[in-house]
């Protein structure tokens, strides 16, 4: 693929801002609204922020790691950037859409590229009822929380909660409990990406729960619905030798 105009955006860190200065000095650049590609400089958190911020522009985003982990980023090099962009391989991610209803009757709609998580707000464990495609699967889960992860997010919070790493082409999402107390041996489930999941918060007044979709948090929820938004596509670009599919496979063999 070929790109006629590049926009650079960077996290606020010293490393990212130094990279921004170097690249702006080396290459012609425009503002994001006039660009054909966005180059994001930072870590995975900044990549998520960039995907959300510029979603309406429908532009591919090529990240270079100036953060810590950089799972969603390419290696940082200043040389041959146009050639790297031309050779880059495209991955389209479809985020999760969360609809959360709070105790005060308000409703919030938000997108999650990594995961939607439900978390207890107090010392009391959460009590949840779980439905998948209209069928009750768990009448009561007592836990610190639960999350639904996309394959792209499966190596983030999901992995820390002992959830599985998911290849991009698997067509599934991970439903992973966080410190499940009862049923104690339940370790979660793998769900088709087309599945609609509904959580009902039991004893919500006594056991308050918050719902988080990437950067959007809703407090005191009583009901949360989650499904994949197939109408929204977010395009990431990766160097052929370091693409996202390969990273997800390689992560499963780390010691």
Q: Which residues are catalytic?
A: 44
HEC profile of the chain: CCCCCEEEEECCCHHHHHHHHHHHHHCCCCCHHHCCEEEEEECHHHHHHHHHHCHHHCCCEEEEECCCCCCCCECCCCCCHHHHHHHCEEEEECCEEEEEEECCCCEEEEEECCEEEEEECCCCCEEEEEEECCEEEEEEEEECEEEEECCCCCCCHHHHCCCCCCCHHHCEEEEEEECCCECCCCCCEEEECCCCEEEEEECCCCCCEEEEECCEEECCEEEEEEEECCCCCEEEEECHHHCHHHHHHHHCCCC
């Amino acid at each position: 693929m070929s790109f006629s105009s590049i926009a650079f955006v960077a996290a606020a860190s010293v490393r990212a801002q130094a990279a921004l200065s170097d690249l702006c000095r080396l290459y012609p650049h425009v503002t994001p609204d006039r660009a054909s590609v966005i180059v994001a400089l930072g870590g995975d958190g900044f990549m998520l922020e960039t995907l959300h911020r510029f979603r309406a522009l429908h532009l591919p985003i090529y990240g270079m790691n100036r953060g810590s982990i950089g799972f969603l980023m390419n290696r940082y090099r200043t040389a041959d950037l146009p050639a790297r962009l031309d050779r880059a391989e495209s991955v389209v991610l479809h985020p999760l859409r969360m609809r959360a209803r709070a105790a005060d009757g308000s409703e919030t709609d938000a997108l999650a590229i990594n995961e939607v998580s439900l978390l207890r707000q107090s010392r009391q464990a959460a009590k949840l009822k779980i439905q998948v495609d209209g069928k009750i699967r768990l009448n009561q889960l007592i836990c610190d929380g639960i999350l639904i992860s996309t394959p792209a997010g499966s190596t983030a919070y999901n992995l820390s909660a002992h959830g599985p790493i998911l290849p991009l082409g698997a067509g599934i999402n991970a439903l992973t409990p966080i410190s499940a107390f009862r049923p104690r041996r339940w370790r979660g489930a793998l769900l088709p990406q087309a599945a609609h999941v509904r959580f009902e918060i039991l004893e919500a007044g006594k056991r308050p729960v918050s719902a988080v979709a990437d950067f959007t948090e809703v407090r005191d929820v009583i009901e949360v619905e989650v499904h994949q938004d197939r109408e929204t596509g977010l395009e990431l670009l990766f160097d052929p030798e370091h693409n996202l599919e390969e990273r997800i496979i390689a992560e499963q063999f780390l010691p």
